Amino acid sequence: MTTLIKFTNTNVKKIVCVYQLCYLNQKSPGLGDFIRGCFYVMQLSKLLKIEFDVDISNHPINKYIENSGKNPNINYDKIEWIEGHNRPPHLWFHKKSYLDINLRNNIIHKLNNYHDSNTYALSLNAFPISYNFMDVGRQLIKNRLKPNNFMKDYIEYTLNELKLEKNTYATIHIRTGDQYLTNVEYMNNIFINNIKTKINKLIVPNKKYLIISDSNVLKLFLKSYPNFYMVNKQIEHLGGDHIKFPDSLGVMNTLVDFYLMSYSNSIFCLSVFGHISGFSQYCATINKIPFNYIIL
């Protein structure tokens, strides 16, 4: 049995999850995976009895979010990405609490050897220790992602453009894979028809559905549905691994998708990934929206 390392560094008072494009040893994941990691660190910090926070001031989305700017206690050039999922794949979504001792010990070892300031910054995409999320934790993350006035106006403009009102529609989020978001691969008809077949079993006549996808091409094939609403504008992966134009309107439009989804009354995700899409799952989590999914 692995021995638990004790947290002994009384100098460290706070642990902060920082979202930025690049870390010392790796580039960042997408926004949903980052939020997932935030819940893990938040829960770990509670066990260690130290403060927790989220910092998005050094990521391109910061220009659309209310934030107080850079933290003087953080050296953004020296932030490390911590590898580890906390749960084995077969327990990724198991409701029972789970704590990977090796990952926990790795983080505590780093905390114990950190003396640059009283704030230790890191990033990871580990799965939560517990899926019993407290409202105070949801609200903390939600507050750190609060849209600024410019973004609020753009959200309202987009809703008016779509002729949708907040909380009157469901969202179907279709995650086809990063190869389509980055336009590396052509989407074939068999794949498209498979998605349509799955959708046809989900939808209810006369109910309004906001369609969000990492593929604008797919959206064009779904425009024939009379109760589907979608924005077909430039989008951009928000993780450092795949982002192509950090200063483009695509970053803003992808963030708008996230906010539009947050105003829906339910979210259904179709994803090619076995771990579901964090983009929609954790939007649902922090906003307490009913969520379901199908693996494509």
CATH number at residue 214: 3.40.50
Show which of 144, 164, 195 is a domain's final residue.
144
Determine, yes or no, domain membership for 8: no
Q: Does residue 189 register a pLDDT over 90?
A: no
Helix, strand, coil % in the chain, rounded to nearest 5: 40, 15, 45
Determine, yes or no, domain membership for 7: no
Counting DSSP H helices and E strands in the chain, the numbers are 9, 9
200 by DSSP, 3-state: which? helix
Say whether both 190 and 115 belong to one domain.
no
pLDDT of res. 22: 97
pLDDT of res. 246: 81
pLDDT tens profile 83-137: 999 999 888 888 899 999 999 999 999 999 999 999 999 999 999 999 999 999 9
Determine, yes or no, domain membership for 138: yes
Say whether both 67 and 198 belong to one domain.
no
Read off the pLDDT band of 194 (50, 70, 90).
confident
Locate 57 and state its tokens: 């001031």
More confident call, 272 vs 23: 23
Task: Work out the percent of the chain whose per-residue pLDDT is above 70.
Answer: 95
Say whether both 183 and 289 belong to one domain.
yes
Say whether both 126 and 251 belong to one domain.
no
pLDDT of res. 179: 53
Say whether both 136 and 181 belong to one domain.
no
Show which of 144, 165, 188 is a domain's final residue.
144
Say whether both 242 and 176 belong to one domain.
yes
Determine, yes or no, domain membership for 37: yes
- The answer to whether 287 and 171 have CB atoms below 8 angstroms apart is no
Show which of 100, 129, 144 is a domain's final residue.
144
Determine, yes or no, domain membership for 21: yes
Determine, yes or no, domain membership for 1: no
- At residue 236, φ and ψ (nearest 5 deg) are -150, 135
Crossing angle of helices 249-262 and 278-287, rounded to 10°: 50
Q: Is the dihedral of CA 208, 146, 251, 243 positive or negative?
A: negative
Distance CA 95, CA 256 (A): 30
Q: Show Cβ contacts of residue 98 under 8 Å, excluding neighbours closer than 6 positions.
A: 86, 87, 91, 127, 129
State which H helix or E strand residue 251 sits in: helix 249-262
Say whether both 124 and 185 belong to one domain.
no
Distance CA 284, CA 262 (A): 7
pTM confidence score:
0.93
pLDDT tens profile 235-285: 888 888 777 878 789 899 999 999 999 999 999 999 877 768 899 999 999
State which H helix or E strand residue 211 sits in: strand 209-213
Distance CA 211, CA 162 (A): 11
Say whether both 37 and 115 belong to one domain.
yes
86-115 burial by CB neighbour count: b if 16+ within 10 A, else e?
bbeeeebeeeeebebeebbebbbeebeebe
Say whether both 289 and 154 belong to one domain.
yes
Determine, yes or no, domain membership for 2: no
Say whether both 170 and 266 belong to one domain.
yes
Say whether both 162 and 290 belong to one domain.
yes
Distance CA 118, CA 8 (A): 13
108 by DSSP, 3-state: which? helix
Say whether both 122 and 256 belong to one domain.
no
pLDDT tens profile 197-229: 999 999 998 899 999 998 888 888 899 999 999
* Region for 276 from its dihedrals, namely left if φ exceeds 0, alpha if ψ lies in -120 to 50, beta otherwise: left
pLDDT of res. 184: 44
Looking at residue 8, its amino acid is: T
Looking at residue 160, its amino acid is: N
- The answer to whether 135 and 46 have CB atoms below 8 angstroms apart is no
In the block, which residue shows the tokens 């893990």? 40
What domain count does the chain have? 2
Determine, yes or no, domain membership for 4: no
Report how far Cα 52 is from the mean position of its chain's Cα atoms: 18
- The answer to whether 32 and 280 have CB atoms below 8 angstroms apart is yes
Q: Which domain does 161 fall in, by range? A: 149-295
